[in-house]
């Protein structure tokens, strides 16, 4: 794919998008069965209480949860109260331990279908206390146990919102249309467009405003630098260079014609002094070079804490610097020559994602403290602690490494050719080194035809998403609705019947299930694991029955 190289954007104004949640506490009685008691604060000193109800790593993260849920079930990152996964803890007199590890009053039960969706009718949230973690709130309008309500997101992640009675990410890692990203970002840094299946600032169907243009490779709104020719900041007059970073004069050949945008100085020594050709903070480091090897030890101090603080508005995040490489040698035009200058990048693969845990002690507080755990949860939710970076062109063929519009999802691309073969040291459903197109045929080839990054740079989380988007006969999310269109599907173990998905972006939760009788199974329309289930068209069809039309047909095994 061709990489656009003719845009620029000020570092201070870059759209560093991260999802922020409102407080996840409940208005219910904190001691009531069925309430979450998800206590979080801004991580400040003194009086910290913590209940990372569905995002715990240690028992400490559950210390202030209600309903006796003070043990972290690490396999599911969920705070529980009792049972074998809580060290065989028992419940108080008058209550019993559910299969989900919760203590509820005797008599409170929750009948479920084969997909774990409650079939009971409720009058209040306490009636849902014995239901699964995704169905702990009563919707009084439908009398159904659901995941959340607009005024009760106790059981949601800190980066979630409540949509259709279900906890979903405010900014899904995969989108299909601009409307899927309606709640992505914060005021002034919205990412309400869907570009290449990732929430972004702009897309082919959602243009930029204020005279800016859309860098369709990354979905960012930028000021045009030059006439828009890839590879060079071409120009015919100074006005064409107004949006360039530092190279604001048009250097036209002596015999006329089209020129290039250049820094308005005559000597290379003036770069970094009289003229700045990189946005802050990279402008503070100016090193001359002849090739990339000359830049191998050049770094800039990047304040990761400030990036997160500005994006999230969390005042408790402190400053914390990370040494960030400027390892590419670029040709910077001045009025009488070209100068070699070390820059952060010339393509996306020059940029390294930032692991916030490297400076977590500085920006979040002492590692292992309650305050640090709360801030990490607020900033990243259940996601890894990476800030995904890409190369934003500022002039000529060089740029700076900046966070993606949605920092939780990769927007980096590559214009390199995919190698004919490579290593196969992990599966397509595991992150790790870049995989070769010769691995797990034809899935890796199908992914890298759409996203070459996965076979060149690394096989990251987005590549796993790509498996479900592009591989016809492979899924990394069996028996889940995330990345599924609306409709009915068969469980991986087809004897368990089928399940229905709502088709909402980011929704993993199954809407309902249909169990087949003993020695029967659900069958698919095709041979792939993601193909829709064969449905009943008549109640009289064998394997159907009353109220089965439009639901999976059960076939004899």
> CB of 271 within 8 A of CB of 396?
no
pLDDT tens column, 177-227: 999 999 988 888 889 999 988 999 999 999 999 889 999 989 999 988 888
What 3-state DSSP class applies to 286?
coil
Q: Are residues 296 and 437 in the same domain?
A: no
Is 7 part of any domain?
no
Neighbouring C-beta atoms of residue 144, cutoff 10 Å: 18
> What number is the average pLDDT over the span 22-44?
37
Tokens of 105: 């009053």
Nearest one of 108, 105, 79 to 93, comparing CA atoms: 105
Q: Are residues 425 and 547 in the same domain?
A: no
Predicted local distance difference test score (pLDDT) of residue 187: 81
Return the C-alpha torsion angle 505, 479, 84, 110, nearest 10.
Answer: 80
Q: At what angle do helices 304-312 and 370-380 cross, to 10 degrees?
A: 60
Q: Are residues 429 and 283 in the same domain?
A: no
Residue, of 113 and 174, whose pLDDT is higher: 113
List beta partners, residue 337: none
Please enumerate in sequence order all residues whose Cβ is within 8 A of that of 273, keeping only pairs 6 or more positions apart, or say none. Answer: none
In degrees and rounded to multiples of 5, residue 499 shows phi and psi of -145, 155
Of 346, 381, 403, the residue at which a domain comes to its end is 403
Tokens of 300: 């800039």
User: Cα 225 vs. chain centroid, distance in angstroms?
Assistant: 30
Instruction: Report residue 232's pLDDT band, with 50, 70 and 90 as the boundaries.
Output: low
Of 403, 426, 454, the residue at which a domain comes to its end is 403
Burial annotation 521-534 (CB, 10 A radius, 16+ → b, else e): bbbbeeeebbebbb
Of 377, 403, 429, the residue at which a domain comes to its end is 403
Rounded CA-CA distance 259/107 in Å is 81
pLDDT tens column, 126-147: 999 999 999 999 999 999 999 9
Q: Are residues 383 and 450 in the same domain?
A: no
pLDDT tens column, 488-520: 999 999 999 999 999 887 788 899 999 999 999
Whether 40 shows a pLDDT value over 70: the answer reads no
Q: Are residues 304 and 333 in the same domain?
A: yes
Nearest one of 428, 435, 493, 440 to 465, comparing CA atoms: 428
> CB of 92 within 8 A of CB of 115?
no
Q: Are residues 232 and 260 in the same domain?
A: yes
pLDDT tens column, 385-443: 999 999 998 888 899 999 998 988 899 988 789 999 999 999 999 999 999 999 999 99
Predicted local distance difference test score (pLDDT) of residue 134: 95
Nearest one of 480, 398, 434, 509 to 157, comparing CA atoms: 509
> CB of 302 within 8 A of CB of 322?
yes
Q: What is the CA radius of gyration of the chain?
A: 27
Instruction: Report residue 27's pLDDT band, with 50, 70 and 90 as the boundaries.
Output: very low
Is 214 part of any domain?
no
Whether 7 shows a pLDDT value over 80: the answer reads no
Q: Provide the 8-state DSSP code for 430.
A: S
Predicted local distance difference test score (pLDDT) of residue 285: 84
Burial annotation 264-298 (CB, 10 A radius, 16+ → b, else e): bbeebeebbeebbbbbebbbebbebbeeeeebeeb
Secondary structure (DSSP) of 360-400: HHHHT-STTSHHHHHHHHHHHTTS-SEE-EEEEEEETTEEE
Q: SS3 sequence, 45-68?
A: CCCCCCCCCCCCCCHHHHCCCCCC
Is 489 part of any domain?
yes
Domain that holds residue 463: 416-476
The average confidence (pLDDT) of the chain is 87
Is 200 part of any domain?
no
Instruction: Report residue 230's pLDDT band, with 50, 70 and 90 as the boundaries.
Output: low
The length of the chain in residues reads: 557
Whether 31 shows a pLDDT value over 80: the answer reads no
Q: Are residues 242 and 331 in the same domain?
A: yes
Q: Are residues 252 and 377 in the same domain?
A: yes
Please enumerate in sequence order all residues whose Cβ is within 8 A of that of 540, keeping only pairs 6 or more positions apart, or say none. Answer: none
Q: Are residues 470 and 485 in the same domain?
A: no
Predicted local distance difference test score (pLDDT) of residue 229: 63
Is 59 part of any domain?
no
List beta partners, residue 89: 83
Q: What percent of the chain has pLDDT over 70?
A: 90
Is 306 part of any domain?
yes
Instruction: Report residue 234's pLDDT band, with 50, 70 and 90 as the boundaries.
Output: confident
Q: Are residues 289 and 390 in the same domain?
A: yes
How many domains is the chain built from?
A: 3
Question: Residue 526, by phi and psi: left (phi above 0), alpha (psi -120 to 50) or beta?
Answer: beta
Q: Where is mean pLDDT largest: 168-177, 266-275, 444-453? A: 444-453
List beta partners, residue 499: 489, 513
Q: Are residues 271 and 367 in the same domain?
A: yes
pLDDT tens column, 329-384: 999 999 988 999 999 999 999 999 999 989 999 999 887 788 889 999 999 999 98
Is 98 part of any domain?
no
Q: Are residues 229 and 354 in the same domain?
A: yes
Rounded CA-CA distance 119/131 in Å is 10
Is 319 part of any domain?
yes
pLDDT tens column, 153-162: 999 999 999 9
> CB of 131 within 8 A of CB of 101?
no
List beta partners, residue 403: 389
């Amino acid at each position: 794919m061709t990489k656009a190289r003719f845009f620029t954007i000020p570092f201070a104004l870059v759209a560093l998008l991260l999802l922020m949640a409102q407080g996840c506490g409940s208005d219910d009685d904190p001691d009531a069965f069925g309430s979450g008691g998800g206590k979080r604060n801004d991580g400040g000193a003194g009086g910290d209480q913590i209940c990372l109800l569905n995002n715990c790593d240690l028992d400490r993260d559950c210390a202030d949860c209600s309903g006796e849920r003070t043990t972290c079930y690490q396999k599911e990152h969920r705070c529980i109260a009792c049972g074998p996964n809580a060290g065989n803890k028992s419940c108080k007199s008058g209550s019993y331990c559910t299969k989900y590890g919760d203590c509820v009053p005797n008599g409170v039960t929750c009948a479920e279908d084969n997909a774990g969706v409650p079939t009971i009718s409720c009058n209040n949230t306490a009636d849902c206390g014995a239901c699964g973690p995704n169905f702990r709130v009563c919707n009084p309008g439908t009398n159904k146990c659901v995941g959340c309500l607009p005024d009760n997101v106790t059981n949601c992640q800190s980066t979630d919102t409540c949509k259709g009675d279900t906890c979903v990410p405010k900014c899904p890692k995969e989108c299909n249309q601009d409307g899927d990203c309606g709640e992505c970002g914060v005021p002034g840094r919205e990412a309400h467009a869907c570009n290449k299946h990732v929430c972004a600032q702009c897309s082919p169907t959602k243009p930029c405003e204020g005279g800016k243009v859309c860098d369709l490779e990354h979905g960012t709104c930028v000021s045009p630098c030059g006439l828009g020719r890839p590879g060079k900041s071409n120009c015919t007059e100074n006005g064409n260079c107004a949006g360039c970073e530092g190279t604001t004069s048009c250097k036209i050949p002596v015999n006329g014609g089209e020129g290039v945008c250049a820094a308005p100085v005559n000597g290379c020594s003036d770069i970094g002094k009289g003229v700045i050709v990189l946005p802050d903070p990279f402008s503070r480091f100016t090193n001359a070079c002849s090739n990339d090897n000359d830049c191998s030890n050049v770094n800039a101090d990047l304040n990761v804490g400030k990036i997160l603080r500005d994006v999230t508005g969390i005042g408790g995040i402190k400053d914390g610097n990370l040494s960030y490489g400027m390892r590419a040698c670029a040709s910077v035009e001045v009025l009488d020559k070209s100068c070699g200058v070390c820059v952060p990048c010339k393509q996306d693969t020059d940029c390294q994602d930032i692991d916030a845990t490297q400076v977590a002690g500085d920006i979040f507080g002492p590692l292992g403290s309650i305050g640090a755990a709360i801030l990490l949860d607020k900033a990243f939710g259940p996601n890894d602690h990476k800030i995904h970076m890409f190369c934003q062109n500022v002039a000529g063929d060089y740029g700076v490494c900046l966070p993606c519009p949605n920092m939780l999802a990769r927007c980096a691309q590559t214009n390199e050719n995919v190698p004919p073969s490579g290593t196969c040291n992990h599966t397509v459903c595991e992150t790790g080194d870049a995989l070769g197109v010769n691995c797990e045929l034809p899935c890796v080839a199908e992914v890298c035809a759409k996203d070459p990054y996965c076979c060149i740079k690394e096989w990251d989380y987005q590549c796993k998403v790509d498996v479900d988007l592009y591989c016809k006969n492979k899924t990394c999310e069996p028996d889940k609705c995330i990345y599924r269109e609306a409709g009915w599907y068969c469980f991986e173990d087809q004897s368990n019947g089928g399940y229905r998905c709502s088709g909402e972006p980011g929704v993993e939760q199954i809407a309902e299930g249909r169990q087949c009788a003993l020695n029967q199974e659900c069958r698919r329309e095709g041979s792939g694991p993601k193909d829709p289930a064969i449905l009943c068209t008549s109640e009289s069809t064998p394997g159907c029955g009353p109220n089965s039309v439009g639901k999976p047909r059960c076939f004899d095994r």
